[in-house]
Structure 1
């Protein structure tokens, strides 16, 4: 018997922008980061929850190519294989490859979801931070204090609450949140040779109380009210476990 249902938000984007020194914009391939979806998803499913996927326009999501490399798994072939099998299982058994457009997820239907989860990869930078319908969806979970899990670049999606219909501003002002850090993005900028939008700075500028430090980068998570957040792929196991605990409790977790 199902314990409830979780909405998983994905980006439609298969690229993100890198601004070169000469002002030109180069698009780099991206998508969702495989382990950032697969590992928390395993915890959600094992706990007996059903899942449904949604994205801005319902397009088939792309997998970030870097996230499919053994390098991303620190050489752990078996963990990589396990995550690949989870994604394939979802392709067959769920609507992962045909997500519902945000506009089709009505306010009434949102009542049927116990929580919401947004994985990372650079894709959210392209189309999640300024999507009014996603802002509407997130405001539902925020106002109802339903568990909300975000990891890596996923927290960038929280900015969409600023452009939701009837919004009075950033819904998570004052929340303690952890995301992919400016320092970590700086390393990617060096690799790509250009400027990339910064999740940490964008959230801080909007009013979030950003949590950083070595412990967060090495897998520590941050919990504040209904939101659990993590900085990078090292956080995915702990994030999934905490999210399920929050779902099971039916109320917001305490710091």
Structure 2
């Protein structure tokens, strides 16, 4: 018998804007998607995957490597097979459909990383509705790497907030960031210094804003590690955030622990 059902918010974004024009190809990270999902299933939870348009997320090619699984070929092979073939990863709903189906049926929510959530989820009104529900119900809300920027969807004017960040208008962004339900929460996210490395070696250009600034401007109490790509998980009330790809197992463990405690 299942312990409960967890909602996974996936992204449909495949391109992210770069400063000066152009874009970089992105997606969700394989390990960040699958490691926590399999941990949930192994712990006795069911999962439901939903995205803005109801299609399956695209995996960022740079994450499709055994290196993101600590060199463990068996773990990598299991992850690839699970994402490709499992019913859980192929029965995708829209965010609107899960809202209309009732959010009370979910025991928690998880948002994987990769750059993709910084494009669509962070400004999606349905994602905002979902996250505000889990905040108000104080149900475990876990987000990994770039995933934590999705909590900005809970802002009253999330799309305008993102546009202000992209335009470099910090004053306007700060004004639009008022009344955020996560203001004052401790959280972490892919750090500005880690992003510089990604911009140089993976993206081929500079992003319009970094994730630390995006969260801090709205009132997030953001902390990151002094060492780039060191695992880091921050738990504050119902919110569980992981900094980078290396934080996948720690975030999974923290989420399962929070869910088990919530279930009594």
Looking at structure 1, the residues matched to 234 and 36 of structure 2 have their Cα atoms a distance apart, in angstroms, of 15
Match of 1:198 among 186, 194, 210: 210
After TM superposition, the structure 1 = structure 2 runs for residues 84-123 of structure 1, keeping only pairs within 5 Å, are: 84-90=80-86, 93-94=87-88, 96-106=89-99, 109-123=102-116
Task: Tell me which of 118, 125, 142 is aligned to 2:118.
Answer: 125
* Larger relative helix fraction: 2
Corresponding residue number in structure 1 for 2:246: 234
Cα separation, 2, equivalents of 1:188 and 1:122: 10
What SS does the corresponding residue of 2:184 show, helix, strand or coil?
coil
Shift of 1:198: 1.1
> Aligned residue for 1:16?
16
Residue pairs, 1:23-42, within 5 angstroms? 23-26=20-23, 28-42=24-38
CA distance 1:36–1:16, change in 2 (3 Å): same
Q: After alignment, is 74-83 or 54-63 more displaced?
A: 74-83
1:59 Cα offset (Å): 1.9
2:197 to 158, 169, 187: 187
Alignment check: 8 A CA contact 1:128 1:134 kept: yes
Deviation at 1:69, TM superposition (A): 2.4
Secondary structure, counterpart of 2:31 in structure 1? helix
Kindly provide the CA deviation profile for residues 83-126 of structure 1, in whole angstroms up to 9, marking residues without a partner as x.
11321343xx22x2342111222366100000000000111111
Q: Say which SS state the counterpart of residue 214 (structure 2) adopts.
A: helix
Change (3 A) 1:221 1:157: same
Contact 2:127/2:153 (<8 A) preserved: yes
The corresponding residue for 2:73 is 77
Distance 2:94 2:134 in 1: 18
* Alignment match, 1:245: 257
- Take 1:98 and 1:169, find their aligned partners in 2: how far apart are those partners? 35
- Cα–Cα, structure 1 residues 216 and 69, in superposed 2: closer, same or farther, change >3 Å? closer
Unmatched 5+ stretches in structure 1: none
Equivalent residue for 1:142, pick from 121, 135, 140: 135
- Aligned residues of 2:29 and 2:112 also touching (Cα < 8 A): yes
> What root-mean-square deviation, in Å, do the aligned CA atoms of Structure 1 and Structure 2 show?
2.2
TM-score by length of 1: 0.88
Aligned residues between the structures: 244
Give the unaligned 5+ runs of structure 2: 159-176
SS at the partner of 1:250? helix
Q: Which residue of 1 aligns with 2:49?
A: 53
Deviation digits for residues 137-157 of structure 1 (CA, Å, limit 9, x no counterpart): 000000000001101000010
> Tell me, what secondary structure is at the counterpart of 2:18?
strand
